[in-house]
């Protein structure tokens, strides 16, 4: 009982003033309603004050405790429904920085896995989960008040999950808008897909004052001292930069890349033939803006694509101790991804759920 009350109180991070705004029905500001004026120093005044204090101090909290669970959770549900991105970002940001992911309900186990790895680097307080359905919004905010927000309208939950589908395309197309919104609010933003695991703190790698930092999704091994410039275009005329991890400063350059990304997604919508996702559009946006924007390619040894990390044991041996974030890509399907994380000791939710701010889901 006491733990559940504690959790509920935590659900109201900065809304403790509602009692004060409650108009007092026997306010002394209305002395005309009374047969004779009451001095707060008189006996009657003191008695009334005392009664008030008892009512406010004892009875109200008791009433709250006796309120059925349904009522309270419905109250918090409607509160989180109205939580705006600006309020949420202000609540979680530390040092002007937010760490962001965008997830729907089927990805909750991956979210939890990712969060455990971030908690180990002590950066979990900055995490904002952009919930792409109401179930995710309520689940996260119930367990970790204030750390999830939904930017309406919620995409159709039924169609959003299958990689390569139009629903998945629509779902991931929301990402550059979310990121642009956060930049417009003035925050640095670190975006991650949740099929990632942090092995070390990535922030020391975000050197200099560049606009946009990203990683290469090409599996070919590069020398350790490779260039930090945008790589040359590949076979399809564009680069293969991953849209899975992006760090941006709230500069005009970064905002321009997000705007171009949105434009590219609109110019090349999903089609049955191409079954595209949002990554090509991101690469075209980088290509179009490269002249005006300060781009920074992160080191491969620290931020390898799954196509390298999970497929080249020699390389993993050679770069031992240098890997910072591992991405479980170059594979599709929840079960396969989980199995692969388990095989590599990166599936943390089974044995270490208590390290997650969400606990066991
Ligand atoms: C904020 O930034 C300063 C300087 O970079 C750093 O020392 C400090 O640990 C950061 N605080 C948090 C909460 O990340
Ligand atoms: C995806 O978005 C397009 C354009 O907004 C819309 O016409 C279509 O119905 C959506 N499809 C799915 C499966 O969400
Ligand atoms: C990386 O190191 C090699 C050998 O030391 C050198 O030849 C090459 O120019 C360096 N590349 C870059 C991009 O600094
Ligand atoms: C952009 O793409 C075009 C077409 O593939 C290519 O010729 C050009 O070099 C690219 N620009 C940059 C900066 O990568
Ligand atoms: C695997 O990594 C090793 C060591 O970095 C490298 O020499 C080799 O070319 C890589 N193999 C493939 C198939 O990329």
The domain locations on the chain are: 2-67, 80-355
State the closest ligand 1 atom to the C-alpha of 125, by its place in the atom list counted from 1: 13
Strand partners, 128: 100
Question: What is the C-alpha to C-alpha distance for residues 34 and 347, in angstroms, rounded to an integer?
Answer: 69
- What is the structure's pLDDT at 120? 98
| 170 touches ligand 2 (CB under 6 Å) | yes
pTM for this entry? 0.79
| 208 touches ligand 4 (CB under 6 Å) | no
Give the chain's radius of gyration (CA, Å): 25
Q: Please, is 172 exposed, middle or buried when counting C-beta atoms within 10 Å of its C-beta (0-12, 13-18, 19+)? A: buried
Question: What's the CA-to-centroid distance between 222 and ligand 5, angstroms?
Answer: 9
Is the bond leading into 273 cis (omega within 30 degrees of zero)? no
Q: CB–CB of 167/160 below 8 Å? A: yes
| 166 touches ligand 2 (CB under 6 Å) | yes
Q: Which helix (H) or strand (E) holds 70?
A: helix 69-82
Strand partners, 100: 128, 191
Question: What is the C-alpha to C-alpha distance for residues 242 and 259, in angstroms, rounded to an integer?
Answer: 17
Q: Whose CA is nearest to atom 1 of ligand 2?
A: 170
Per-residue buried b or exposed e for 231-267, using 16+ beta carbons within 10 Å of the residue's own CB: beeeeeebbbbbbbbbbbbbbebbbbbbebbbebbee
- What is the structure's pLDDT at 158? 65
* Strands 188-192 and 196-198, sheet pairing: unpaired
Q: Whose CA is nearest to atom 12 of ligand 2?
A: 167
CB atoms within 10 A of CB 322: 16
Task: Please list the ranges in the chain whose pLDDT falls under 70.
Answer: 1-77, 157-161, 163, 270-276
Q: Report the candidate in 238, 211, 231, 208 with the shortest Cα–Cα distance to residue 297.
A: 231
- What is the structure's pLDDT at 154? 85
Token match 């930069």: residue? Answer: 241
* Domain 80-355 in CATH 1.10.760.10: no
- What is the structure's pLDDT at 80? 82
- What is the structure's pLDDT at 161? 62
> Which tokens sit at 27?
């306010």
Q: CB–CB of 147/127 below 8 Å? A: yes
- What is the structure's pLDDT at 277? 73
Question: What is the C-alpha to C-alpha distance for residues 284 and 249, in angstroms, rounded to an integer?
Answer: 20
Residue list, ligand 3 pocket, CB within 6 Å: 223, 225, 227
- What is the structure's pLDDT at 169? 74
Question: What's the CA-to-centroid distance between 310 and ligand 5, angstroms?
Answer: 12
């Amino acid at each position: 009982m006491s733990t559940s009350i504690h959790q509920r109180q935590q659900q109201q991070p900065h809304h403790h003033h509602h009692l004060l705004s409650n108009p007092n029905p026997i306010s002394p500001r209305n002395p005309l309603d009374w047969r004779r004026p009451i001095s707060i120093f008189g006996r009657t005044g003191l008695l009334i004050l005392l009664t008030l204090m008892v009512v406010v101090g004892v009875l109200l909290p008791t009433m709250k405790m006796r309120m059925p669970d349904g009522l309270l959770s419905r109250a918090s549900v409607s509160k989180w429904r109205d939580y705006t991105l600006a309020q949420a970002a202000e609540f979680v940001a530390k040092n002007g920085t937010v760490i962001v992911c965008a997830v729907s309900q089927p990805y909750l186990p991956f979210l939890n896995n990712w969060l455990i790895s971030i908690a180990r680097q002590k950066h979990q307080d900055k995490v904002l989960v952009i919930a792409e359905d109401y179930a995710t919004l309520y689940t996260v905010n119930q367990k970790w008040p204030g750390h999830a927000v939904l930017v309406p309208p919620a995409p159709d939950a039924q169609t959003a999950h299958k990689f390569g589908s139009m629903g998945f395309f629509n779902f991931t197309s929301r990402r550059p808008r979310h990121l642009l919104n956060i930049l417009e609010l003035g925050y640095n933003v670190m975006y991650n897909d949740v099929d990632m695991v942090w092995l070390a703190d990535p922030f020391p790698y975000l050197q200099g004052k560049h606009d946009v930092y990203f990683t290469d999704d090409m599996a070919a091994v590069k020398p350790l001292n490779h260039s930090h410039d945008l790589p040359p275009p590949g076979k399809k005329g564009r680069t293969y930069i991953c849209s899975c991890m992006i760090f941006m400063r709230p500069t005009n350059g970064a905002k321009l890349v997000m705007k171009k990304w949105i434009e590219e997604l609109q110019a090349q919508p999903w089609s049955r033939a191409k079954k595209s996702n949002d990554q090509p559009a991101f690469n075209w946006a980088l290509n179009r803006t490269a002249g005006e924007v300060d781009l920074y390619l992160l080191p491969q040894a620290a931020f390898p694509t799954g196509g390298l990390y999970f497929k080249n044991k020699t390389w993993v041996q050679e770069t031992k101790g240098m890997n910072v974030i591992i991405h479980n890509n170059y594979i599709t399907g929840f079960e396969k991804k989980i199995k692969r994380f388990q095989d590599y000791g990166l599936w943390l939710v089974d044995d270490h759920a208590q390290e997650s701010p969400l606990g066991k889901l």
